[in-house]
């Protein structure tokens, strides 16, 4: 009898999630006695909250989410990196007068309201010689990517392989500023996580789940066109043109050529965590200063 693993998504279904869909479609989960249930994205509760209250066994979110819950009574543990390198970027419309981050001073930024988000945005502007005086406009999360097109904001945070591909299809391409080009260390986003409690309780289930998931992402990396068709077959409501444009852009970043999918490099993880800590972005949930966390305790390769 198969067991169900429920995965809480970090956003509406997109090509960051293809490997999970491929693993289900090709019965990789079935072969290890599992079936996958995807919980659609919801702003409230977040994927992390769903996992922490056991509405889902695993969830997706940025590295910052794991860091943010490190001092929680219910800490979460990163199991794998969906992408080998940070694929996200700040973006403006290609036709914008803004050609580099320092020119975002005094401009409007469409924000998701994430805990570290504006710190990173303003640091990028400062690293490029600006003052960091970016105006934050927190919008309902589903509307944030469209803020550039509606004129509500001058810049926002995007995944070029998804929102960037969508903008091209709309005939309004974006100009991207990669975080690593402006003083921000590489980071993992999204990561697959569970609670420390569940990892200790169900190690065999997690090992089986991770084996099947890795097979799904490895196939999606090697065969992006096939992966796109499997995603569309499972979810025909998705925009077919967008999926087919996006998947060849997303697949190469799933893993480095010399490493399997999912590997979290301790130096990369700690490098970004330490960057946040040294800039005063890592505090207790009450806002107090804390000792530098144990970065390696936040992720594991055990599964």
Q: What is the CATH number of the domain that holds 283?
A: 3.40.190.10
Please check whether residue 86 is in contact with residue 268, taking contact to mean a CB–CB distance below 8 angstroms: no
- Return the pLDDT at 299: 98
Report whether pLDDT(118) > 90.
Answer: yes
State whether 203 and 283 are in the same domain: yes
- 163, 182, 201 — which closes off a domain? 182
- Return the pLDDT at 71: 85
State whether 79 and 96 are in the same domain: no
- 156, 182, 208 — which closes off a domain? 182
State whether 80 and 93 are in the same domain: no
Residue 176 within any structural domain of the chain: yes
State whether 142 and 278 are in the same domain: no
State whether 202 and 284 are in the same domain: yes
Residue 234 within any structural domain of the chain: yes
State whether 61 and 204 are in the same domain: yes
Residue 303 within any structural domain of the chain: no
State whether 103 and 222 are in the same domain: no
Please state the domain count of the chain. 2
Residue 123's domain comprises 89-182
**Distance (Å, rounded) from C-alpha 17 to C-alpha 217?**
9
Task: Please state the pTM of the whole predicted model.
Answer: 0.95
- 127, 149, 182 — which closes off a domain? 182
State whether 196 and 269 are in the same domain: yes
- Return the pLDDT at 127: 95
State whether 192 and 292 are in the same domain: yes
Q: How big is the chain by its Cα radius of gyration, in Å? A: 19
Number of CB atoms found within 10 A of residue 291's CB? 7
Give the residue-averaged pLDDT of 47-63: 96
- Return the pLDDT at 285: 72
Place of tokens 């509500």: 152
State whether 169 and 26 are in the same domain: no
Residue 11 within any structural domain of the chain: yes
Residue 173 within any structural domain of the chain: yes
163-205 pLDDT tens trace? 999 999 999 999 999 999 999 999 999 999 999 999 999 999 9
């Amino acid at each position: 009898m198969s067991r169900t693993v429920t995965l809480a998504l970090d956003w509406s279904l997109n090509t960051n999630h293809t490997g999970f869909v491929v693993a289900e479609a090709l019965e990789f989960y079935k072969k290890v006695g599992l079936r996958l249930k995807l919980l659609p994205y919801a702003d409230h509760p977040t994927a992390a909250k769903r996992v922490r209250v056991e509405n889902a066994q695993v969830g997706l979110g940025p590295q910052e989410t794991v860091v943010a819950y490190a001092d929680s009574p219910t800490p979460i543990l990163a199991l794998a990196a969906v992408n080998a390198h940070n694929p996200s970027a700040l973006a403006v419309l290609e036709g914008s007068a803004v050609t580099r981050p320092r020119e975002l001073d005094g401009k409007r930024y469409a924000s998701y309201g994430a805990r570290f988000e504006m710190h990173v945005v303003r640091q990028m502007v400062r690293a490029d010689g600006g003052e960091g005086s970016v105006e934050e406009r927190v919008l309902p999360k589903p509307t944030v990517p469209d803020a550039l097109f509606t004129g509500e904001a001058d810049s926002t945070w995007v995944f070029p392989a998804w929102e960037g591909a969508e903008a091209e299809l709309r005939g309004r391409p974006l100009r991207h500023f990669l975080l690593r080009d402006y003083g921000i260390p590489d980071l993992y986003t999204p990561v697959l996580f569970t609670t420390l409690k569940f990892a200790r309780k169900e190690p065999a289930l997690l090992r089986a789940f991770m084996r099947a998931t890795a097979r799904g992402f490895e196939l999606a990396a090697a065969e992006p066109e096939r992966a796109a068709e499997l995603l569309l077959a499972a979810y025909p409501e998705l925009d077919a043109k967008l999926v087919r444009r996006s998947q060849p852009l997303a697949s190469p970043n799933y893993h480095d050529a010399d490493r399997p999918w999912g590997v979290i490099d301790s130096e990369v993880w700690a490098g970004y965590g330490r960057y946040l800590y040294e800039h005063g972005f890592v505090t207790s949930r009450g806002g107090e200063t804390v000792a530098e966390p144990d970065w390696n305790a936040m992720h594991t390769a055990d599964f």
